[in-house]
Structure 1
């Protein structure tokens, strides 16, 4: 009995789903299988091309390091020309040093002619010339919901009217004028997520943003000296803010910019700060004039190499400014082997505080990650601080890589303020937990 070709009789949407899981070049080859497959590939809803993605048959060993070739772009254009569109996702990821802007522009314009895209990801990584960015003008994609850009120079089209469906905007090391960035934000009123990461950019320090987004729920800023001001003017639904400083050294200017940003984010329920933010704030006079009355979860990345009395005062002020804090997650870092003197210094800095409502009434969960420390015993000083002062603590979790027995021995000698506290030591390598109490 002859075998029945059941796959060819599958519904078209299932065939498209199957092809979406193949490399693009393999999906195109299915047109030769049978008459019923001849045009299915033209309905592909997404394209993921470049580094770690589909290379469209380019098997060159130096694909990721050499300049992009016109022939490769022509293959991409041919693929896009064959598809009907519109596309749910178009993702182009390349690690290149020279990208011809005119070829990329032609490709984007072709995508626009096909009906646009819902999710557009363009990522360019430069190993030799980090300041040489590919320049393009973004077509007015009417259905664009998610835009993620990295390592490029962006220009908005003439008489730009906004992306009215846009909900997620991520900009990483993108050169864009202050006017165009402000215009992009002002015309994207449905934006719920905004991420701005500036590390390799070294522009004139004149970037100032006023953000008024009524539906914004999550914002992430990694900033450097290029910023003059960031103001969250009207973000009534903002729930989470993550703030980083990418400068190697901090300044009072960076302190004022981050403080100005957080003044507008004072009603968030979740907050992440890196150690550079605390270092910058230590240059200013405490206390600051705002608090976080609704904050439930605080995440901190602390560099023990830079902790001093002023930075620790900022840390204590943070705890005082969060009267209803319930969950605290701290990752500790150091770049050199700590000595007993360092551990002793940390013990003096983390002394018993006065007038910290969350320690007395609300803080129930503390997680301390010590796996970035060369000597985890210095991090135990921070653990002991919370064991001694958090009176309603339910769970203390310590994440580590080595020295399990030493940690347990130290914890067994620690004073604990909460009779309900459960201390768990968790090895991130072996996934073994040890119930200390």
Structure 2
């Protein structure tokens, strides 16, 4: 029995299993396995993926604040040396850096080196700059959706990094953030590309059109307008027959984005990257974009979309005949008669809506005037809204970004009073912004509401605790 335990089983594992094990480690830990045994000595050089830089693998850097300090060009050279040591094709490469020098030339050589390795399918590049190199600029983090507001970064400057993208023939996923994209001469397209994400990327109008026109296998497209190099303003007609998911963050530099031939489109997410959403031009661009995605079954709208659309005259001349699920934010600070009208129009334009996820938020302490206005505009019977009469069965109302949760009780009452086939209403609120009295007041208020659906069930969550409320 003792002899059995002396057998070195780990040395005799198949090589593909060894590589699979190392792929789950940070790079520095994968390299350290070379000292385990002779059979593992060079296994790390067959790694198919690297994740390096800010919030990722610090590549042996022992600094405790690696994620927040600038990374020097010396560190990039270390990355190039690591890539040069790999023997197999590097299929997935992710690099996220905070820099204090312009790495354009080093980055170009690194990308050329990746091209020579062959087989690159996923390329994810993200860049930040130190505070001293730029003025504050608005930028939307691609973070969990409970942070829907623009964050101001003092370390972000897309003009500092230029990416000359080599012709990666196997590339399936391309994600670029905070850089300037330059396509090579005689660009033939990424014919294997299925996912394209451009977030605050400087790209010429010509190159953006060329990139999309030669990537006909795209199924997912994310475009966040930032400091665009566009003359005139962006006017984009998208014809992608396999496209199923889109995400657009637009600002005043966008004149028009129109999806003219996307028969498989299923999901769309639209938000504004502009600090000022009070522009009629931006409102028209937003309306045009909504018109071109009217065939989707799932739609996600940011809080500024309603406020911007309220600048235009109702009714709008389109609807969402196939929409089943709607997710959107409502900022109660900007809630008025016009945004209420847009809110009602949205519901009227979605006759077969089955599921609604609504997040209420505010950036200032709500006054009693806001609560009174919401009561006047919302808490009353509505006629001619088909989804409320026939299809809306599930409503989730999140109020954990609401500074005074009792303001949200008006929206809850609106759906309880009008949704005739409602099965489940979920109310989510946070203990941070409320206390036990708030929760008790909400429960007591809900018990007084006349409910349109006899099957309606109301469940409250204070993030961790579930409470079922018996409504009439």
Give the TM-score, by structure 2 length.
Answer: 0.89
Write the distance in 2 (CA, Å) between the matches of 1:432 and 1:321. 33
Aligned to 1:169: 196
Q: Partners of 2:428 and 2:232 in 1: how far apart?
A: 40
Tell me the CA shift for residue 35 of structure 1.
Answer: 2.8
Q: Aligned pair 1:416/2:451, yes or no?
A: yes
**Which of 86, 97, 101 is matched with 1:94 structurally?**
97
Instruction: For residues 125-171 of structure 1, give each alpha carbon's deviation from its aligned partner in whole angstroms, at most 9, with x where no partner exists.
Output: 23522334310201111111111111111101111111111111111
Whether 2:123 is the aligned partner of 1:124: answer no
CA shift, 1:60, in A, is 3.3
**Which residue, out of 295, 304, 315, partners 2:332?**
304
Other structure's SS at 1:87 match = coil
**Aligned match of 1:106 in 106, 109, 123?**
109
C-alpha distance in structure 1 between counterparts of 2:448 and 2:409, whole Å:
11
Cα deviation per residue 1:408-431 (whole Å; 9 max; x = unaligned)? 011011111111111111111x23
| 1:283 aligned partner | 311
Residue 376 in structure 1 maps to residue 405 in structure 2: yes
In structure 2, C-alpha distance between the alignment counterparts of 1:168 and 1:91, rounded to whole Å:
15
Q: CA deviation at 1:436?
A: 3.0
> 8 Å contact 1:208–1:230 — kept in the other structure?
yes
Counterpart of 2:58?
55
- Say which is worse superposed, 192-201 or 149-158, in terms of deviation: 192-201
**Aligned residue for 1:357?**
386
Instruction: Work out whether 1:70 is the aligned partner of 2:98.
Output: no
How far 1:25 sits from its partner (Å)?
2.4
Once the two structures are TM-superposed, the CA of residue 290 in structure 1 deviates from its matched residue by: 0.7
* 1:19-38 paired onto structure 2 within 5 Å: 19-38=22-41
Q: Distance in 2 between matches of 1:257 and 1:142?
A: 34
Aligned partner of 1:148 in structure 2 is 175
What is the 5 A alignment of 1:237-276?
237-250=264-277, 251-276=279-304
Check whether the contact 2:427–2:460 (CA below 8 A) recurs between aligned residues.
yes
1:159 matched to 2:186? The reply is yes
Structure 2: state its 5+ residue gaps: 135-155
Task: Determine helix, strand or coil for the equivalent of 1:47.
Answer: strand
Distance 1:272 1:84 in 2: 44
What does the per-residue CA deviation read over 1:339-361, in whole Å, with 9 as the maximum and x for residues that have no partner? 33321110111143221111111
SS in 2 for 1:393: coil
Of the structure 1 ranges 102-111 and 26-35, higher mean CA displacement relative to structure 2 is found in 26-35
Deviation at 1:201, TM superposition (A): 5.9
- Tell me, in whole angstroms, the C-alpha distance in 2 between the residues paired with 1:292 and 1:63: 47
How far the C-alpha of 1:194 sits from its partner, in A, is 0.6
> Which residue number in structure 2 is paired with residue 211 of structure 1?
238
Equivalent residues, number: 436
How far did residue 199 of structure 1 move?
A: 4.7
User: Are 1:226 and 2:253 matched, yes or no?
Assistant: yes
Report which stretch shifted further, 97-106 or 333-342: 333-342
Cα pair distance change 1:338/1:65, threshold 3 Å: closer
Q: Matches of 1:88 and 1:32 in 2, distance apart?
A: 25
What whole-Å deviation, never above 9, does each CA across 1:73-120 have from its counterpart, x for those lacking one? 221111111112322210001123434110011101000000041111
Which residue does 1:392 correspond to in 2? Answer: 421
Give, in whole Å, the separation in 1 of the partners of 2:306 and 2:96.
34
Cα–Cα, structure 1 residues 183 and 410, in superposed 2: closer, same or farther, change >3 Å?
Answer: same
Distance 1:84 1:200 in 2: 39
Q: 2:72, 2:100 within 8 Å by CA — same for their partners in 1?
A: no
1:290-369 → structure 2 map (5 Å cutoff): 290-350=318-378, 351-369=380-398
User: What's the RMSD between the two structures over aligned residues?
Assistant: 1.7
Which residue of 1 is the match for residue 151 of structure 2?
Answer: none
- Once the two structures are superposed, residues 225-251 of structure 1 have per-residue CA deviations (whole angstroms, 9 ceiling, x without a partner) of 110110101000000111001212221
* Worse overlay, 410-419 or 332-341: 332-341
Q: Give the secondary structure class of the aligned counterpart of 1:261.
A: helix
Give the alignment's TM-score, normalised by structure 1.
0.96
Measured in 1, the distance between the counterparts of 2:325 and 2:181 equals: 35
CA shift in 2, pair 1:307/1:97, >3 Å: farther
1:371 Cα deviation from its structure 2 partner: 1.1
Would you say the 8 A contact 2:34–2:43 is kept in 1? yes
CA contact (8 A) 1:85 1:116 kept: no
Shift of 1:121: 0.6
Identify the range of structure 1 (227-236 vs 346-355) with the bigger mean alpha-carbon deviation: 346-355
